[in-house]
Amino acid sequence: MLEANLSHANLQGANLIGADLSGADLRGADLRGARVGVSDKLMVKLTGANLAGLIMPDGSVHA
């Protein structure tokens, strides 16, 4: 998923742990309830993305 155009994608509840989202465009994407893992090279565009309920790598849930 390196440099993928995922703008406005419905990723609600998706398991993105281990996905390389470096350079990905997630502007306007629906990430409610999705699980993400973060690498040291992660650089994504999240402008306007819905992050409600997003589960962070440390297990915390984004409000």
Q: What is the dihedral of CA 39, 23, 47, 29, to 10 degrees?
A: -90
pLDDT for the residue 53? 86
H helices of 1-63, in order, are none
pLDDT for the residue 42? 55
pTM of the model: 0.69
Spatial distance between the Cα atoms of 28 and 44, rounded to a whole number of angstroms: 12
pLDDT digits (tens, 9 = 90+) for 22-49: 888 888 999 888 888 765 555 567 778 8
Confidence tier at 8 by pLDDT (50, 70, 90): very high
Q: Which residues pair with 15 in a beta bridge?
A: 35
Beta pairing class for 35-36 and 15-16: parallel
